[in-house]
Structure 1
């Protein structure tokens, strides 16, 4: 994986949601708001590309790894 590209994990499910992790290049991390989860408009402006319905719902360590889910 290049450290300059966005990495998209495989999708996985539980009984309620479909999930995926997105690993951002370190230089993009400073664009991630610390005060709130990103809206679809915010993450699309950063260059994250996913189909409709994904919701940013968790930030965890490492800081550059974001988690999305959809029903």
Structure 2
């Protein structure tokens, strides 16, 4: 694990009735690797050092702060 990977911040998880969410804050050095014109696939975000369990989808960009990645995954059926 690189020093930059150690600086990645993972939020607590939060939910609505359909999804579980979390946001990930990248250090500037890693944020430079985020594609500007598209959302990342799981292999792409893992490739820049983001580590989380399977099933998370990079679903939105926070335009004013492109170093913040927004993820969600479906909640299991009740």
Query: If the length of structure 1 is used for normalisation, what is the TM-score?
Result: 0.91
1:15 aligns with 2:9: no
Give the structure 2 partner of residue 26 of structure 1.
28
Give the structure 2 partner of residue 67 of structure 1.
70
Q: Unaligned regions of 5+ residues in structure 2, if any?
A: none
Q: Deviations over 1:1-44 (max 9, x none)?
A: xxx41000000000110000000001111100011100000000
Q: CA RMSD in A?
A: 0.8
Aligned length: 68
Aligned structure 1 segments of 4 or more residues deviating by more than 3 angstroms: none
Query: If the length of structure 2 is used for normalisation, what is the TM-score?
Result: 0.83
